[in-house]
């Protein structure tokens, strides 16, 4: 990917040792971008060895930065055409989620945006990776047939009043999104926010994102991971997107300089746990679906659907829209990460 003067376009991807960020770096390098990525400790090869492998694909620079440190992203975003904000706090089981998840999520996002504001007009667009968690927690939605889009926001007042389950995660996403939007407007930054649903598929990162553990739990028997899957379905659906499609969507929205604005839901498929269990049982008979996990009430079909009409309307086309497509490399990835048995 080159600009008109023949110079390679440059992108910054924060949190390069993460699942989504590692896949995004791969997509950008394959599109011939020069990429700068940030990690907390570049010398930690247990977390960063995949970045060494990715450097074989093209120009990839690994820099140290920390969401907690204002100014630490200055070098990473300097000289970039696009900045992809993927890094986020992951203290999901914190005993003090306000201090250890919500506040760091908001301040970390603003710290990166402060660095972006210093770059000025040469930075064409910032793409913030949020989550459908900021969209779907709407307890007032009763019955079937609901369709949610980018106008929907999770109910922060309800979540903070009840404090049940992983309540702080959607709160952190809502507040970080809104703070980012205000900052971008005040500082003239072109900001697009992408809200992916449960993200699946293989990625270069060699540590498992919770969504991968969750979506393989019917085969692995991991009860805690399945419990998280079940908690997701309480919002009315199990919505999936393949990580490759998510990364393609983020690059697409970065490059759509004239049209793209605001939030974009990124959802390839609305399904249910029961539909997933049937698919896995038929497609991968060598693994036994752990039917003991399926006790209790589960949805036969989604009662809520998430709409990607805005993203598709901009001209984006999903490659993967079926469970078959979502899972075609998940089993081997699960083996590689030792979530599933086999080589």
Structure tokens at 141: 């939605």
Number of Cβ atoms within 10 Å of the Cβ of 181? 16
Is the per-residue pLDDT at 1 higher than 70?
Answer: no
Average pLDDT, integer, range 3-7: 55
Of residues 90, 36, 89, 39, the one with CA closest to residue 58 = 36
Structure tokens at 333: 């990835």
3-state secondary structure the chain: CECCCCCECEEEEECCCCHHHHHHHHHHHHCCCEEEEEECCCCCHHHHHHHHHHHHHCCEEEEECCCCCCCCCHHHHCCCCEEEECCCCCCCCCCCHHHHHHHHHHHHHHHHHHHHHHHHHHCCEEEEECCCHHHHCCCCCCCCCEEECCCCCCCHHHHHHHCCCCCHHHHHHHHHHHHHHHHHHHHCCCEEEEEECEEECCCCCCCCCHHHHHHCHHHHCCHHHHHHHHHHHCCCCEEEEEHHHHHHHHHHHHHCCCCCCEEEEECCEEECHHHHHHHHHHHCCCCCCCHHHHCCCCCCCCCEEECCHHHHHCCCCCCCCCHHHHHCCHHHHHHHCCCCCCC
Residue 343 banded pLDDT, cuts 50, 70, 90: low
CA atoms within 13 A on the CB side of 160: 9
Token representation of residue 273 = 């746990």
Model confidence, pTM? 0.95
Tell me the per-residue pLDDT of 63-76, one tens digit each, with 9 for 90 and over.
999 999 999 999 99
Question: What distance in Å separates the CA atoms of residue 280 and residue 195, rounded to the nearest whole number?
Answer: 26
Q: In what order do the strands lie in the sheet with 10-14?
A: 60-64, 34-39, 10-14, 82-85, 125-129, 191-196, 262-266
Mean pLDDT of 36-57: 93
Position 2 pLDDT exceeds 70: no
Cα(268)–Cα(141) distance, integer angstroms:
22
What pLDDT, on the 0 to 100 scale, is given for residue 164?
Answer: 86
Q: Residue 4: what are its φ and ψ, rounded to 5°?
A: -60, -30
Which tens digit of pLDDT belongs to each residue from 113-171?
999 999 988 999 999 999 999 999 998 888 889 999 999 999 999 999 999 888 999 99
State the average pLDDT over residues 271-298.
93
- Please, what is the average pLDDT of the chain? 93
Domains in the chain, CATH or no CATH each:
10-337 (3.40.50.720)
Q: What is the pLDDT of residue 6?
A: 58
Beta bridge partners of 241: 199
Burial class of residue 99 in the structure, from the number of CB atoms within 10 Å of its CB (0-12 exposed, 13-18 middle, 19+ buried): exposed
Angle value at C-alpha 115, between 112 and 117, nearest 5 degrees: 110
Mean pLDDT value of segment 189-204: 96
Share of the chain above pLDDT 70, in %: 97
């Amino acid at each position: 990917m080159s600009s008109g003067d023949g110079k390679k376009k440059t992108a910054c991807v924060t949190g390069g040792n993460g699942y989504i960020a590692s896949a995004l770096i791969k997509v950008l390098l394959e599109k011939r971008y020069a990429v700068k990525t940030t990690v907390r400790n570049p010398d930690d090869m247990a977390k960063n060895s995949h970045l060494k492998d990715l450097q074989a694909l093209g120009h990839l620079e690994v820099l140290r930065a920390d969401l907690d440190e204002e100014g630490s992203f200055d070098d990473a975003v300097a000289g970039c055409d696009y900045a992809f904000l993927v890094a986020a706090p992951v203290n999901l089981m914190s005993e003090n989620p306000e201090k250890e998840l919500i506040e760091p999520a908001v301040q970390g996002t603003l710290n990166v945006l402060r660095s972006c504001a210093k770059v000025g007009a040469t930075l064409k667009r910032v793409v913030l990776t949020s989550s459908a968690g900021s969209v779907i927690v709407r307890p007032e939605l009763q019955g079937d047939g609901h369709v949610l889009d980018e106008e929907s926001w999770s109910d922060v007042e309800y979540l903070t009043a009840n404090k049940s389950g992983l309540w702080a995660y959607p709160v952190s996403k809502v507040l970080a999104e809104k703070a980012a939007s205000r900052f971008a407007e005040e500082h003239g930054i072109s900001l697009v926010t992408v809200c992916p649903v449960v993200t699946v598929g293989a990625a270069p990162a060699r540590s498992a994102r919770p969504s991968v553990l969750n979506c393989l739990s019917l085969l692995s028997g991991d009860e805690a991971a399945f419990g998280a899957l079940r908690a997701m379905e309480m919002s009315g659906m199990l919505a999936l997107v393949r990580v490759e499609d998510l990364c393609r969507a983020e690059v697409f929205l970065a490059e759509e300089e004239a049209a793209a604005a605001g939030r974009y839901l990124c959802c390839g498929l609305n399904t249910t746990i029961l539909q997933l269990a049937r698919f896995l049982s038929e497609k991968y008979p060598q693994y036994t679906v752990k039917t003991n996990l399926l006790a209790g009430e589960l949805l036969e079909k989604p009662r809520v659907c998430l709409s990607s009409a805005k993203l598709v309307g901009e001209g984006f086309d999903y490659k993967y829209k079926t469970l078959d497509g979502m899972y075609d490399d998940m089993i081997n990835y699960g083996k590689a990460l030792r979530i599933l048995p086999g080589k």
